Structure 1
């Protein structure tokens, strides 16, 4: 393997903290390096340094003779003119544009493209005319699942080296040979993909916890020694006393973020019917039907994932579900107790000229009230961030603000349109954990396969002809079919009259949700018993735990009875 780039002791100072400290990284032919870290950790800074667009504050960067570097930025910049003029011609370019759904736009002016279209055109450009090193910043943003499959193939087949930042864990695990983690200026390199990163992170945390426990034990012994009396201490070397005092005063390194993303909120109870669509059609003027003859009923606690190619009408469909758009034909009704929050992918639902605390307070509130400060802190808006204008926030901060504003409504129905765009992996995992406990009805439009697998149990696919169909087996089966592991059965289009199979699947989902809810209750109660020092209280809780376990057994038997019927 030829060395293409070599970074030695590279450092970079941000406005308020060190982003990179003594980074060493060698990039060779065949490397597939994934870069991860929380928003603001320095991922994009590192990519710009590797690309040569930003000079480090310290260290050396050696580039091999004749080595060229291509850079796909998170917000790409392309030359003026048409798509064809910007990319040139050739079968490789046309093939890439076709797979990315942009071949029909070759005569479109670059300045007329949407953000998503611009990203796809730029992606076609970097792979059609590849350099020795490709740097990709969030390449899956605005791609549908078919285009992401194409991207995976391109990365695997690329002969040079690739450095990428992505929130798509499935992609990272499939294509990377090394993972580079940035954490408070420090960098950690892990051999293997994303799953190996998680293993080594867990090991590092365990080692840190063990080291901290050792430090505390040493501190206790030194403290006892110092307290044996003035005379005893006077006979000891002053150096040891000073060392003991330093040990007592030492504290572990502060976490990159304090606490967890606490999204728990009370919400109104949902009735049996949440959203009901009957023979819904939608079209713009006399154009083709975007949504055609859809009948669908969603109940309390449903977990729905929505997929489909770009341009099929996924966002139009969820706008109809949210009643932000009226159907051209048919009816769309909400249950009487529905409180809906819509987390859209563009963030256009708030005024960018207002500060974070003004938006949280709303038109009738007082910015910076104690309750609002507590709420903002739960979403990691601390320090100077509450006074920052929304337009000044980073992409990840804007997405967190959107989620904060959405959850402040105490919704019982939540629609998430591409929720993982611009968020770091830590925030995504915490959102997944919250959604697993949240009892409301969830609708997710996403290209993030891992997120869909973690948060949904039913998958709907929006087709280019306007029809919407259930995907048998959900996202995991969809992935397996896309990879050719299993055959592709014909999915049933949503119908006004549910089939026996659809009715059985609904009963299975409902029974499964009951099992999962009781399992969570059992786990929480077991933890509470373990942490209770009061013997009598532990006895009472144990009785409740036994009753819950019996309830869980009954629920599991009901699920089995339905599955075998």
Structure 2
């Protein structure tokens, strides 16, 4: 398949059998969504053939799906299976509302419920975790793990990819690379491929130099040297190795203005949309530190975006005060896609109304965000959804903010951009507040977590891992086996566990310490073993073991943190 300015993929061959789970990754614009539509039969390939088994039914969640007209119940279905799935996606309260009256995020959840509620042999999901909270993502992860058919999944959620998929398909400059194992094995294989390419290039250049040196010196008896071979050797030396999908890593080296001691303070802030409406926030107080790294979590619809709007002073509180320091320069990356003119070119948007398009500084900025080649001249309507979001991120950071408010920043951004953004935020000198359901992103960039629920902000005892463990516990005691369990099971209460003694908790933590040490050593050993390995079968085996070891290590670390929080609670005076 091709696009006007590039080849998306060609000569791609892949087989999906029942029970297999294929994750598809690649940078924005490489054709992941296009591939899913081709595999689902919604788009014809330009060449080649898609063969499906006789009678195979396919369910597709497309990023650009248009829902049929009707109420949520009519669109998804009226059976108990449909109602149970809507319940797990926090849509029960909207079941009799017309889909045209829903928000964009709510419509996405209805689309996901519609696909999950219909039996199929092959399930194809394009970014299914967008607009889901952590509890819903945890439930979806468990649901997909039990799905007996074939699964093809495009996602930026690295936890989900590593715990659900059995193979990974990487789209890179028109070529498809298939890796056995989950996300960790894909990273290891990509690193190995890069190392092998560097090694092959070094060997090629050494051979070319020796050939050229021999031809130049030649035998003294020869009166004429073969000039054609000399020219060929020179040409070989100038050939560059095949570049990766992106040249280098993204560079977020922007100047950050100095931030004073006062950042943003909320003092007993309340908010509701109308005098008779339900309160969204009630007497919320929050003080941001100049080096704040705050993550906000909570169920959908509890007011997380409203809180960011208040911090950004885009809306005024119903009661209370929002005090912003005089040195604060806010950059707000919204959950909604920016309203770019679809006919505008990338270079014009970057230049803005005050600079001339094509300015050298703007060109360097676009290169940092991998808008190279023909992309600066492309119009917005030709960009993929992920490319538009990357352009939106570019425009926010180009404002040189010292306070970043990020509302679901991982939605629609590719994994390369996410990892680069995480690296940047780790060393960034400003203050950060992010609303996100992406567990990996929150772990890397935040230092404290607050949960917004019941109109109030609450600290999370035990941090993010404890919150994830609690969400997993809720999911494990809910209707996670839908559509194979009765909806009434979703109302079951989780029995309250008896508080354990500090000595019991210390004993469990000691056992987990030993397990974590062993798994860490094994993970490091496998990573070293992968380096320099060229045998495909050995790479496959090592990659699978590394992925399994990392998954087990993640679970052990989450358990250790959860028990640590329980121990602190048990030993409080």
TM normalised by structure 2 equals 0.79
* Counterparts in 2 of 1:56 and 1:350: CA distance versus 1, 3 Å: closer
| Gap regions ≥5 residues in structure 2 | 477-493, 497-567, 569-573
* Counterparts in 2 of 1:321 and 1:222: CA distance versus 1, 3 Å: same
1:340-398, Cα deviation, whole Å (9 max, x unpaired): 11011113365555433333223222222222222222222233433444344321122
Q: Which residue of 1 aligns with 2:75?
A: 86
CA drift of 1:149 comes to: 1.2
| Gap regions ≥5 residues in structure 1 | 1-11, 490-562
Which of the numbers 115, 119, 125 marks the counterpart of 1:130? 119
1:20 matches 2:9:
yes
Secondary structure of 2:108 counterpart: helix
Q: Is the 8 A contact 1:264 1:438 kept in 2?
A: no
Q: Is the 8 A contact 1:226 1:233 kept in 2?
A: no
1:102 matches 2:84:
no
- Cα distance in 2 for partners of 1:146, 1:374 equals 41
1:410-441, Cα deviation, whole Å (9 max, x unpaired): 11101111111111111111111111111110
1:449 matches 2:435:
no
**Structure 1 residues 90-169: aligned runs within 5 Å:** 90-169=79-158
1:102-132, Cα deviation, whole Å (9 max, x unpaired): 1222222223322211111111111111210
* Counterparts in 2 of 1:234 and 1:457: CA distance versus 1, 3 Å: farther
Greater relative contact order (CA < 8 Å, ≥ 6 in sequence):
2
Q: Cα RMSD (Å) of the superposition?
A: 2.5
The number of residues matched between the two structures is 479
Which of the numbers 384, 396, 409 marks the counterpart of 1:394? 384
| Deviation larger for 135-144 or 400-409 | 400-409
CA drift of 1:246 comes to: 4.6
* Counterparts in 2 of 1:241 and 1:280: CA distance versus 1, 3 Å: same
Q: Which residue of 2 aligns with 1:535?
A: none
Q: Which residue of 1 aligns with 2:247?
A: 258
- Cα distance in 1 for partners of 2:247, 2:82 equals 47
Q: Which residue of 1 aligns with 2:354?
A: 364
1:295 matches 2:285:
yes
Which of the numbers 178, 195, 216 marks the counterpart of 1:189? 178
Secondary structure of 2:406 counterpart: strand
* Counterparts in 2 of 1:120 and 1:410: CA distance versus 1, 3 Å: same
Secondary structure of 1:35 counterpart: strand
Secondary structure of 2:271 counterpart: strand
Secondary structure of 2:49 counterpart: strand
1:480-525, Cα deviation, whole Å (9 max, x unpaired): 3333499999xxxxxxxxxxxxxxxxxxxxxxxxxxxxxxxxxxxx
CA drift of 1:96 comes to: 0.4
Which of the numbers 299, 302, 309 marks the counterpart of 1:309? 299
Q: Which residue of 2 aligns with 1:423?
A: 413
Q: Which residue of 2 aligns with 1:411?
A: 401
CA drift of 1:88 comes to: 2.2
1:209 matches 2:198:
yes
**Structure 1 residues 258-297: aligned runs within 5 Å:** 258-285=247-274, 286-297=276-287
- Cα distance in 1 for partners of 2:229, 2:221 equals 13
- Cα distance in 1 for partners of 2:331, 2:495 equals 34
Which of the numbers 59, 68, 85 marks the counterpart of 2:57? 68
CA drift of 1:278 comes to: 0.9
1:463-490, Cα deviation, whole Å (9 max, x unpaired): 0x2011111232233223333499999x
Q: Which residue of 2 aligns with 1:33?
A: 22
Q: Which residue of 2 aligns with 1:175?
A: 164
- Cα distance in 1 for partners of 2:73, 2:278 equals 27
1:154-198, Cα deviation, whole Å (9 max, x unpaired): 101111111010011111011111111111121111111101111
Q: Which residue of 2 aligns with 1:331?
A: 321
Q: Is the 8 A contact 1:127 1:154 kept in 2?
A: no
TM normalised by structure 1 equals 0.80
- Cα distance in 2 for partners of 1:363, 1:244 equals 51
CA drift of 1:298 comes to: 0.9
| Deviation larger for 235-244 or 265-274 | 235-244
Secondary structure of 1:433 counterpart: helix
Secondary structure of 1:443 counterpart: strand
* Counterparts in 2 of 1:232 and 1:468: CA distance versus 1, 3 Å: farther
